[in-house]
Amino acid sequence: MAETVAFWSLAVVLVGSALAVVLSKNLFHSVLWLALALTGTAGVFLLLDAEFLAAVQLLLYAGGIVTIVVFAIVVTERLVGERITQTSRRITAGAVISLALIALIVNAITRQPLATVREPLPSDLTRTIGESILTRFVLPFELLGVLMLAAMLGAVYFARPEE
């Protein structure tokens, strides 16, 4: 019962803030709504017993990405001297495409017999995740380190001051 209430309130928050992200006229408000949507996703992760992922979500997404986007807005909008309003185009076509995609996916989901009961998880989930990252998935983990380094170097290179 408590889970149902929590799920529906999180669903309302998530869908509402996601709609605000794509419909808000002010780009800065969009980013703040995105922060709310990402925090709501962390709540969904908690509901799915993934505490570690909820923490990662808050740190990396809600903390990291929102900060970077705000920086990008400040850099690109202030110099232009325009207000940070934004417009959308082809709203009807976009709505049709999105609704069709949602209908397609929901149709496919409802046709399948899906699990309704949760299987028991390993008792110490965070420990299990850490162990499997450093044993079975150690090669992807190392590759991820290389990717992060490449992204960092690339971002620094692109954003360097003009000579």
Partner 1 sequence: MGLQAYLILAAVIFGIGLFGVVTRRNTIGILLGIELMLNAVNINLVAFARFSGSEIGMVFTVFAICITVAEAAMGLAIVILLFRIRRTVMADHLDLLKG
Q: Which of residues 81-100 bind partner 1 (CB under 8 A)?
A: 86-91, 93-95, 97-99
Helix axes 27-47, 66-80, angle to 10 degrees: 170
* Ramachandran sector of residue 103 (left: φ over 0; alpha: ψ -120 to 50; beta: rest): alpha
The residues, ordered by sequence, that sit 6+ positions from 133 with a Cβ below 8 Å of its Cβ are 141
Tokens of 132: 């499997």
Q: Which of residues 1-30 bind partner 1 (CB under 8 A)?
A: 3-4, 7, 11, 14-15, 18-19, 21-22, 27, 30
115 binds partner 1 (CB under 8 A): yes
**Of these, 9, 138, 142, 151, which contacts partner 1 (CB under 8 A)?**
151
111 binds partner 1 (CB under 8 A): no
What is the distance between the alpha carbons of residues 120 and 161, in angstroms, rounded to a whole number?
A: 53
**Of these, 9, 83, 133, 142, which contacts partner 1 (CB under 8 A)?**
133
What is the distance between the alpha carbons of residues 55 and 39, in angstroms, rounded to a whole number?
A: 10
138 binds partner 1 (CB under 8 A): no
Tokens of 72: 């990008």
**Of these, 9, 138, 142, 147, which contacts partner 1 (CB under 8 A)?**
147
C-beta of residue 73 within 8 angstroms of C-beta of residue 29: no
118 binds partner 1 (CB under 8 A): yes
72 binds partner 1 (CB under 8 A): yes
First to last CA, the chain: 62
In angstroms, give the least distance from the CB of 80 to partner 1. 7
Q: How many residues at the interface with partner 1, by CB under 8 A? A: 85
105 binds partner 1 (CB under 8 A): yes
In angstroms, give the least distance from the CB of 75 to partner 1. 6
